[in-house]
Structure 1
Amino acid sequence: MTHRQVLEALSGLLLVLFVAMISATVVSVALPQIIGALEGNQSQYTWVVTASLLASTASTPIWGKLADLFDKKLLLQISIVIFMVASLACGFAQNTGQLIAFRAVQGLGMGALQILTQVVLAAMITPKERGRYNGYLGAVMAVATVGGPLLGGLIADTSWLGWRWCFFIAVPFTVAAFALLAKTLHLPSVRRSDVSIDYWGATLIAAGVSVLLIWVTFVGNDFDWLSWQTAAMVIGGLLLLAVATWVESKVREPVVPLHVISRRTPALAILASLAVGMAMFGGSVFLGQYFQIGRGYGPTAAGLMTVPMMIGVLLSSTVSGKMVSKSGRTKPYILVGLVVLLAGFAGLATIDHETTLVLVSVYMLLVGVGVGMSMQNLVLVIQNTVPLSEIGAASGAITFFRSLGGTVGVSVLGAVLANRVASDIAAGLAKAGIPVAGDAAAAGGSLNIAALPEPVQQIVRAAYGEATGHIFLVSTGIAVVGLLAAAFLRPARLRDSLDLPAQAPKQEAASTGA
């Protein structure tokens, strides 16, 4: 494809990626309104978010492997249709059970679009040139992640739209992206007669990951960390993944290629991506909550206050992408990005309900810059070590682990936040001489802060403000692990060919840090 053809196809890829990513976060601010309108409960509230994350995370490596076996353009078009139909269905849901089911289907489409856009881009552009275009992808993904709550807040605050437009808004964009890609995307058709699909591996991976994510979602709330439910889910999930690993080592076309992810460079890149995934998802989820509950701002204002993070991601991913393409090196930018990310988390770990917004904005900007410089460059590191025939599975693997890190991170940090808030509210009420009956945090358990008495409001806001700083202290520790993993990456130059040389793929993989 010529440069002009690449740009034309890229516009469609960026559009569909933006819609898929923003759909994952657009409901976060409007969710209380949605669950209230459908007369749902707290458990269903959690599952509206969890259902799509589970489906997206568990299916990512499967879509990546399918892209190595079948026509990439056709798979992309199928995933657009799945996502569009599921979005319509979510908008027309009549109860929370229907909404949860449709969100799971929507998650399948989201996972497919996130990985297939990267795979299609890798099939069009050499790794060295891909740095610049990956910068655009990273900017779109991060802006959508951070901008989703802002858009959801605007929709929630607009009376003539209503919450259903959180889902309907994706439809016209997906239709436009489908038409644009049908016209502009031209890839060689894949016709393999020796296709072997690893159904057992795909099923076991999806089942094992789902069981562990369900456990992380409910532990600490619905049952204790030390309980028979925890033992059953953790042991069961690990056993399923152990069997899946054995299956992947035996089949001819594994969903997750162990020979790729077990090598030094991909393994370290995956470990670093876990920290970046937590930054993306945790930052947007908990900072939005911090501004609304801890500081008393409305949904739209809370979304606007996350703009510094969005700006940081947008600028750093675009600039670093161009610099990577120019120099052919990724490690320096990844290291700098993770150092800046660590500094941003360390700053956010000091905030409470009275921290000046200027300081909070500076810390968010640092987190955004760190994510933008590291996220897509880590994908590029793995793509540079594998032949074109494995680009889908390799991209799917790192995207899967990054998404898994984000999902687990949100669940774990959410549990830490809930426990800290409960204890701080109980201590605050006792210190103020306000009697507490039953649950120690019951008096401040409602997220409708405005309905609480003024003294209790101040206690609840202080609890959420200080607890938010506490969870970012945990994130700082995880960022250290990501930085250490990146530090051990071998310096390598990006190749300037689409595929590894056919005559010596193993030697080339070794020279690129495999």
Structure 2
Amino acid sequence: MTDVVNRAGGRRTYTHREVMEILSGLLLALLTSMISTSVVGTALPTIVGDLGGQDQLSWVASATLLTMTVSTPLWGKLSDIFGRKLMFQTSLVLFVAASVVAGLSQNIGMLIAARAVQGLGTGGLSALTQVILGDVVEPRERGRYSGYVGAVFGVSTVAGPLLGGFIVDTSWLGWRWCFYVCIPLAVVAFAVIQKVLRLDHEPRDARLDWWGAFTITGAATSFMLVLSLGGHEFEWNSGWTYGLCALGVALILLAVVVERRAAGPILPPRLFRDRTFLLAGLASLLVGIAMYGAMIYLPQYLQIVKGMSPTASGLMTLPMVVSLFLGSIVSGRIVTRTGRWKAYPVAGMLLVAGGLGLLSRLHVDSSDLVIGLAMAVFGVGLGLTMQMLILAAQNAAEVRDMAATTSGVAFFRSLGGAIGVAAYGAILTNKVKSELTSMMAAAHITPSGGGSTLSLGTPEAIAKLPAPIHAMVLEAYARGMQTVFLVGVPAAFLGFVAVLLLREAPLRSSRAAQARRPAPAESA
């Protein structure tokens, strides 16, 4: 068995079997928590119908993404102070407790609060999985393991809506099981981590940067509120938008001052002088924009335009899931053998751009084969890219900055996801309304309440529209989806440029370092 050096402690070694045992617990926890963030999508109409609160529907979807994103940098710092294992288990307990409360919710406010706490737990699990892997495995050997992490991110994003659709379609379950179903797996993950994860904890700094926490999370929260609620709770061109953006900018400037003076900063300023961290963070943000936007809105195309059920639309995304999984695993293993990593995110971003380009050409009559091919190209690109960016950043980071670097790159990816979901949503809504209005005007149709209202129903409601209007709605949605995917192409191309500018530093290996180390002098 190959020994893998624990970089955090510098003393402990792990066999391949031990690493896989640790990874199984990490991935089980990560899978359950990430699924919980997306499972609610297909269940929202049922949930709102049961609990009421139609005007607060956007909060149910946004609360988890908001808290997950803003809390990510904090978990890295907390793990430096209190230990990786304790903080990972704490985030898992938060997730499980919040899932129970979400399932027991009696009103929409209770559900939103539970979803927010779920996001805190998910943020810790997503960041600390990468941090712990960075502690246990040297960069040269990390590729074959990090591929599994990338696959889990993609699979969970697609599997969530599929699972939610199945639960809602199953009469003897009900929407509350969208939250209960992950709890047993999370409990098993906790037990596995308790048994197999043994890290030597050496506190970097026992002081928590409270002002840094306030300014960084405050700035992120301000922008996340604009992205999550703009166009729903308030207009984009409104005092709320300008006020929150101004507050976010002010807090960013204050955070720069605070972090430069803090003894133990959450995001050390020296990271932003590191070219690799900056470019990997920028590329991760752009990947998040492309990935989350496409994955969230693909089910709408399949359910509305192609008329598939939630379960069928989830199954239709299997080409993307399989290709993402294979891309992550195969590239990770090759990187471990060769030590060369840059070619994969470079090719990956080109494939992401190409996949989005293919998706932008889908229309009402597109065949399943064409749809599956476009998804497969997109999935391979994501599989080649996501984990390589974190690997590059970790490889360039000092040991003391491992947690901050990892959580920082993860933060940028989550922020990109929020930007993508919000931007694509606004583009889709405006495009569908304008196309539908134009087509109805050309056909001299003026429905009561205005033509645009027909585009805002559920897939079931749209399917029951009169035939001529139904055809117009499908065409309007198809054109709207084409625009959404096409807008993602420039983001993917900018990500390609960022990756292209990365320097391919050799992946560190403990065995290589030992080979370069001079032999100790013999005692006289």
User: TM class by shorter-chain length?
Assistant: over 0.9
Question: SS of 1:249's equivalent?
Answer: helix
1:282 pairs with 2:293: yes
Cα distance in 2 for residues equivalent to 1:453 and 1:209: 45
CA offsets 1:144-200 (integer angstroms, 9 cap, x no match): 1111111111111111111111100111001100111111111113346x5121111
Aligned ranges 1:95-494 → 2 under 5 Å? 95-191=107-203, 194-447=205-458, 448-494=461-507
- Report runs of 4+ in structure 1 exceeding 6 Å deviation: 498-501
Cα distance in 2 for residues equivalent to 1:251 and 1:498: 36
CA contact (8 A) 1:388 1:499 kept: no
In structure 2, the CA distance between the partners of 1:64 and 1:496, relative to structure 1 (3 Å rule), is same
TM-score, scaled to structure 1: 0.94
CA contact (8 A) 1:387 1:499 kept: no
Per the alignment, residue 511 of structure 1 pairs with: none
Task: Please say which of residues 308-317 and 251-260 is displaced more in the overlay.
Answer: 251-260
Question: SS of 1:29's equivalent?
Answer: coil
In structure 2, the CA distance between the partners of 1:191 and 1:490, relative to structure 1 (3 Å rule), is closer
Cα distance in 1 for residues equivalent to 2:216 and 2:448: 45
CA offsets 1:18-51 (integer angstroms, 9 cap, x no match): 111111111111111111111121x421111110
1:56 pairs with 2:68: yes
CA contact (8 A) 1:25 1:149 kept: yes
CA contact (8 A) 1:127 1:498 kept: no
Once the two structures are TM-superposed, the CA of residue 500 in structure 1 deviates from its matched residue by 9.5
Per the alignment, residue 27 of structure 1 pairs with: 40
CA contact (8 A) 2:228 2:418 kept: no
For 2:128, give the aligned amino acid. Answer: L
Once the two structures are TM-superposed, the CA of residue 260 in structure 1 deviates from its matched residue by 1.2
Aligned CA-pair RMSD: 1.8
Once the two structures are TM-superposed, the CA of residue 223 in structure 1 deviates from its matched residue by 3.8
For 1:18, give the aligned amino acid. Answer: L
- Structure 2 runs not aligned, ≥5 long: 1-13, 518-524
CA contact (8 A) 1:68 1:390 kept: no
For 2:191, give the aligned amino acid. Answer: A
CA contact (8 A) 1:76 1:112 kept: yes
Once the two structures are TM-superposed, the CA of residue 352 in structure 1 deviates from its matched residue by 2.0
Report the number of matched residues. Answer: 500
Once the two structures are TM-superposed, the CA of residue 438 in structure 1 deviates from its matched residue by 4.5
CA contact (8 A) 1:388 1:498 kept: no
CA offsets 1:188-237 (integer angstroms, 9 cap, x no match): 13346x51211111111111111111112233344443332222121111
The one of 27, 40, 59 aligned to 1:14 = 27
CA contact (8 A) 2:323 2:379 kept: yes
Once the two structures are TM-superposed, the CA of residue 450 in structure 1 deviates from its matched residue by 2.7
Question: SS of 2:42's equivalent?
Answer: helix
Cα distance in 2 for residues equivalent to 1:37 and 1:157: 15
Cα distance in 1 for residues equivalent to 2:368 and 2:423: 26
TM-score, scaled to structure 2: 0.92
1:66 pairs with 2:43: no
In structure 2, the CA distance between the partners of 1:14 and 1:221, relative to structure 1 (3 Å rule), is closer
Cα distance in 1 for residues equivalent to 2:254 and 2:512: 32
